[in-house]
Amino acid sequence: MATLVLITSSSLYLYISYSQNYEIKQELELHAKKLLKERYKLPKKLKLQKKILKNASNIQASIEYAPYINYESRYYRIIKKGKRFFMQGFFPYNFRSQKYLILTKDITRQIQFKNKLYRAVIIVNILSLIIIIIYAFIISKMLLRPIKYVSFKLAKMNEHKLSKIDLKTLPYEFIPLGESINNLIKRIENFLYYKKELFIGAAHELKTPLAVMKTKTQVALLKKNKTIESLEEALKQSVQSINNLNNTIKSILAFGRAEGAQFEEAKEIDLIAFIQEMLEEFEILALKEEKYIIKRLKPKKLILQIQPSLFRQILQNFLQNALRFTPKNNIICVSSFLCEEHLVIRIKDSGPGLPQNFDLFAPFKKSQNSKGIGLGLFLAKIAADSIGASISLKNKKKQNGAVATIILPIKKYKIASFGKKRK
């Protein structure tokens, strides 16, 4: 800012100074042309017009010998006599005798004006610099206050004490930063909560088959009359328990891969076309089980930036559950539509519905009819949080079946060909 003021004021001073000198030179050159129009009559002209030039234009004219000029076409210089300043213009008159027509103009007033202008420029620059420093100091204090507040809040946080930033105390410009930090805090809270639930659930899931294996093995060893059949039965139950352990470990590894997918780079894709491709894959599976998928997708095209693997994980989990619980010769309806600045995707099945008062998104939580270990919806929830989407599962109101909903914000994304919005 200070540099800009300095450059502007200096440029203005140089422009005014150059313009004054240029105008004076043009004036001297104009008079010289008139006088030198008829060179042989120049001495007589000077006698007649010397007083006129002096009185009218404050210019003194004379013919003098000036060998130091090297006989240039024209030459100008500024000289000082006492407290007064003069500009002299040398115009060739006689090449052989090296005589010049010299026009001298008093430019004291112009020099005084330039000196005053120079002092004014210096004063303006100093005042501007002081104002800029004061302004920068005030602005920096205003900007540092919310930054210090945010830093203080973040410094006090730990995994046991997470508190959101009060957006009302922040300036308008810092609200997006505050919202981003609050979203991050929420994600950390969810991560810590589900991480704790995951560890507890994993320990429980791993402990149960191990306990079964241990008990069956001990019972088999304590029997006095051990038969091959009893030992085979004990081994079969141990193998089954090992298979259960393997399934649990696979699910935990899937959780690790899902955590890594959060760092996938967002890509620009046509989300509607992406959903269509996934539904085509599931339509083949549905037909094998004598079930049918109905598609009602709007808009026809929606271009946005998203992490495809995470979105696939959410939609795939909901479609798998809908296909698993829907009876034969029944339908699964998949629809999408725009609602204000969100894309809403719904998957409706015809199954028995969901248990009441049951957190299906918690790790290792599953309904009685489920054959999995209860990590699928948990991973879908983590993926949804990572891409800023919200997901929910509810029972239908008037008939059997469940409704899975994905609400994806599209405000921050590049959108093309919306079609008609559904309100």
**CATH no. for residue 181?**
1.10.287.130
| DSSP letters for 367-417 | -TT--S-S-HHHHHHHHHHHTT-EEEEEE-SSSS-EEEEEEEE-TTS----
Q: Which residues of 233-242 are buried (b: 16+ CB within 10 A; e: fewer)?
A: ebeebbeebe
286 and 254 assigned to the same domain: no
Last residue of a domain, one of 62, 96, 113: 113
In a domain, 121, yes or no: no
257 and 272 assigned to the same domain: no
Last residue of a domain, one of 70, 98, 113: 113
pLDDT at 421: 41
User: What total number of domains does the chain contain?
Assistant: 3
pLDDT at 422: 38
241 and 271 assigned to the same domain: no
The answer to pTM > 0.85 is no
Contact 415, 340 (CB under 8 A): no
In a domain, 134, yes or no: no
280 and 386 assigned to the same domain: yes
256 and 306 assigned to the same domain: no
pLDDT at 3: 77
* Average of per-residue pLDDT values in the chain: 80
Helix (H, G, I), strand (E, B) or coil at 372: coil
Strands (E) located in 214-264: none
233 and 208 assigned to the same domain: yes
Q: Which residues of 269-308 are buried (b: 16+ CB within 10 A; e: fewer)?
A: bbbbebbeeebeebeeebeeeebebeeebbbeebbbebbb
pLDDT at 333: 95
271 and 245 assigned to the same domain: no
* Per-residue pLDDT tens over the stretch 131-185: 888 888 888 877 777 777 777 777 777 666 677 777 777 777 778 878 888 877 7
pLDDT at 331: 93
273 and 227 assigned to the same domain: no
Q: Extract the tokens encoding 128.
A: 């501007």
In a domain, 168, yes or no: no
242 and 287 assigned to the same domain: no
314 and 374 assigned to the same domain: yes
In a domain, 339, yes or no: yes
* Per-residue pLDDT tens over the stretch 83-141: 899 998 888 887 777 888 888 998 898 888 888 888 888 888 888 888 888 888 888 87
85 and 197 assigned to the same domain: no
The amino acid at residue 354 is L
Contacting residues for 191 by C-beta, under 8 A, at least 6 apart: 382
User: pLDDT digit of tens for each residue in the chain (423 aa)?
Assistant: 667 777 887 888 888 888 888 898 898 888 888 888 877 777 777 777 778 778 878 888 888 887 766 655 678 888 888 889 999 888 888 777 788 888 899 889 888 888 888 888 888 888 888 888 888 888 887 777 777 777 777 777 766 667 777 777 777 777 887 888 887 777 777 777 767 766 766 676 667 677 777 777 777 777 766 677 777 777 787 787 787 777 777 766 766 665 555 556 788 899 999 999 999 989 998 999 999 999 999 999 998 888 888 898 899 989 988 998 999 999 999 999 998 889 999 999 988 888 777 777 777 666 656 666 667 788 888 888 888 899 999 998 888 889 999 999 886 444 443 444 433
In a domain, 155, yes or no: no
Supply the range of the domain harboring residue 42.
Answer: 2-113
Contact 188, 160 (CB under 8 A): no
8 and 87 assigned to the same domain: yes
Q: Residue 282 and residue 133: Cα distance in Å, rounded? A: 66
Last residue of a domain, one of 261, 286, 302: 261
DSSP β-ladder status, 292-297 and 331-339: parallel
Contacting residues for 224 by C-beta, under 8 A, at least 6 apart: none
pLDDT at 201: 66
Residue 405 has phi, psi (to 5 degrees) of -125, 135
- CATH code for the domain in which residue 273 is found: 3.30.565.10
In a domain, 169, yes or no: no
Q: How far apart are the first and last CA of the chain?
A: 50
In a domain, 161, yes or no: no
In a domain, 324, yes or no: yes
